[in-house]
């Protein structure tokens, strides 16, 4: 048993004082108690404590492309032209380079307050499109990278069959992605039974345009309570294509043709009508919003107040990793709505006793993220994994801030490095802003140089 004591900790949606936290040998919280004097044997933590968040949507290999698509040579630039350029890294990255890139990414995510990442993993085959001798080669590269960083990993092998609703095969530049339902389930089982610490697995569907309805049904049949993630309604062109091909909008199609329930995580869900929000709420499914990527790609604004008011769980993801810290994701989740509506504190709900925007968004992301990663319990509660973040009160953005306003300042004042220490499953992964594991920087730098030496 490891015993920690915090002057303040975020428990049950509020700050509690004098908090005792005991982590068992299984890496989960055995006891969480408030208003307790510090026992002599406890490790006294250096500042207020928050639970770690789940990054509910990641494409790790795209970290190698962050910052390299911010020029426009043609008359226009949009998601689809960005995607074509992104495929360059998808077609050339090796397993060794993927591990190096992902190790850097996962360390950055941990510094940014995440202790678990859901990897929406569709990069499966060798660059020429042929399967590796071990079909899990790239999955192991990601799992090794997560172990290097000390972060938890939810692997989501992706069903990816076709290039579009009326294109029944993949494009040549999508050759590394090809999987059917049986292959995705085999990959899921391989990861789930590997016995690797801090690794679990669900499944994912790339999108309705990329998967046949029969294959979607086959993928989820008999899956049990594992998480199911799907890109949906990210782009207006996708909505238009789905309408033309099926007569229904993407979220509308899911609600009518899949066993939509709490296992399902609708990633982006940017272009959703109120009737679709209501259908998702009725089914008990969740959404995963990725504000920094959606802003970077020009996707548009989803109706965040609509999702909140309907009671739909909202997790957050860093997706293409142009930003790798959850305070900025929550900030832009709110700022997008402010810009759209020309109002402030749009996501607060004073009539419901939730006047603090940051607290409302953080608490929703905390609970929804745990479910998106397949955990029945998440946060600072008995039975949940023993993860925590220690805030650095010496950071300028947090210095002198009253405890009751700490979360507000963390999200909206732009503090550079707010997390001093990070605990994952009862073990320190970051101490005094330093990684406990090896520095991923040299291998990452070498991988980036090899990937982009001749082409940016």
- C-alpha to C-alpha distance for 449 and 305, rounded to whole angstroms: 43
- pLDDT one-digit tens code per residue, 222-260: 999 999 999 999 999 999 999 999 999 999 999 999 999
Judge whether residue 456 has pLDDT over 60.
Answer: no
Query: Mean pLDDT throughout 385-414?
Result: 96
Domain boundaries of the chain, sorted by first residue: 2-50+385-435, 53-372
- C-alpha to C-alpha distance for 232 and 315, rounded to whole angstroms: 15
pTM of the model: 0.98
- Could you identify the residue written with the tokens 């930003």? 323
For 418, the token pair is 């707010």
- pLDDT one-digit tens code per residue, 25-80: 999 999 999 999 999 999 999 999 999 999 999 999 999 999 999 999 889 999 98
Closest CA to 155 of 104, 190, 200: 200
Query: Percent of the chain beyond pLDDT 70?
Result: 100
Instruction: Give the chain's mean pLDDT.
Output: 97
Q: What CATH topology corresponds to 2-50+385-435?
A: Urease, subunit C; domain 1 (2.30.40)
- pLDDT one-digit tens code per residue, 164-221: 999 999 999 999 999 999 999 999 999 999 999 999 999 999 999 999 999 999 999 9
Query: Mean pLDDT throughout 271-300?
Result: 98
Strand-strand pairing, 203-205 and 14-23: unpaired
Candidate list 57, 121, 231, 268, residue with the active-site label: 268
Candidate list 148, 299, 303, 319, residue with the active-site label: 319
Judge whether residue 22 has pLDDT over 80.
Answer: yes
- Could you identify the residue written with the tokens 């995510």? 109
Q: How confident is the model at residue 414 (pLDDT cuts 50, 70, 90)?
A: confident
Please return the burial class of 380, using the count of CB atoms within 10 Å of its CB with bins 0-12, 13-18 and 19+.
buried
- C-alpha to C-alpha distance for 289 and 307, rounded to whole angstroms: 11
Integer Rg of the chain from CA: 21
Instruction: Report the length, in residues, of the chain.
Output: 456
17: β partners? 8
Is residue 268 annotated as a catalytic residue, yes or no? yes
**CATH number for the 53-372 domain, one of 3.20.20.140, 3.40.50.10490, 1.10.3720.10, 3.30.365.10?**
3.20.20.140
Q: How confident is the model at residue 286 (pLDDT cuts 50, 70, 90)?
A: very high
Query: Percent of the chain beyond pLDDT 90?
Result: 97
Looking at residue 415, what is its pLDDT? 84
Judge whether residue 308 has pLDDT over 90.
Answer: yes
- pLDDT one-digit tens code per residue, 342-368: 999 999 999 999 999 999 999 999 999
Is residue 319 annotated as a catalytic residue, yes or no? yes
């Amino acid at each position: 048993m490891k015993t920690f004591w915090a002057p303040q900790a975020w428990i049950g949606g509020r700050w509690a004082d004098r908090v005792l936290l005991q982590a068992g040998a299984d890496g989960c919280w055995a006891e969480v108690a408030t208003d307790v004097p510090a026992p002599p044997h406890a490790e006294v933590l250096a500042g207020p404590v928050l639970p770690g968040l789940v990054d509910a949507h990641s494409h790790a290999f795209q970290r190698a492309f962050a910052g390299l698509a911010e020029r426009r040579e043609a008359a226009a630039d949009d998601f689809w032209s960005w995607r074509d350029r992104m495929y360059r890294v998808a077609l050339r990255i090796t397993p060794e380079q993927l591990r190096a890139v992902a190790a850097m990414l996962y360390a950055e995510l941990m510094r940014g307050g995440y202790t678990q990442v859901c990897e929406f993993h569709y990069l499966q085959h060798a660059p020429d499109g042929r399967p590796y001798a071990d079909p899990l080669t790239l999955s192991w590269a990601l799992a090794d990278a997560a172990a290097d960083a000390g972060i938890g990993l939810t692997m989501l092998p992706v069903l990816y069959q076709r290039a579009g609703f009326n294109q029944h095969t993949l494009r040549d530049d999508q050759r590394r992605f090809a999987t059917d339902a049986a292959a995705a389930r085999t990959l899921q089982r391989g990861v789930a039974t590997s016995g690797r610490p801090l690794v679990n697995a669900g499944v994912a569907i790339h999108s309705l345009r990329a998967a046949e309805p029969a294959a979607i049904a086959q993928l989820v049949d008999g899956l049990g309570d594992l998480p199911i993630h799907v890109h949906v309604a990210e782009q207006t062109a996708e909505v238009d294509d789905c309408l033309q091909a099926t007569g229904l909008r993407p979220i509308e199609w899911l609600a009518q043709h899949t066993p939509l329930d709490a296992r399902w995580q609708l990633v982006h869900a940017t272009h959703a009508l109120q009737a679709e929000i209501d259908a998702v709420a009725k089914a008990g499914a969740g959404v995963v919003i990725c504000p920094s990527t959606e802003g970077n790609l020009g996707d548009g604004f989803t109706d965040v107040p609509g999702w909140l008011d309907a009671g739909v769980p909202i997790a957050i993801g860093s997706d293409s990793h142009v930003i790798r810290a959850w305070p900025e994701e929550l900030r832009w989740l709110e700022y997008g709505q402010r810009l759209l509506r020309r109002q402030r504190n749009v996501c607060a709900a004073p009539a419901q006793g939730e006047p603090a925007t940051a607290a409302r968004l953080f608490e929703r992301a905390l609970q929804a993220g745990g479910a998106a990663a397949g955990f029945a319990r998440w946060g600072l509660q008995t039975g949940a994994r023993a993860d925590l973040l220690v805030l650095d009160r010496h950071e300028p953005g947090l210095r002198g801030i009253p405890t009751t306003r700490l979360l507000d300042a963390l999200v909206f004042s732009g503090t550079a490095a707010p997390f001093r220490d990070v605990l994952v499953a009862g073990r320190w992964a970051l101490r005094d802003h330093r990684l406990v594991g090896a520095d991923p920087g040299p291998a990452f730098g070498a991988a980036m140089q090899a990937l982009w030496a001749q082409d940016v």
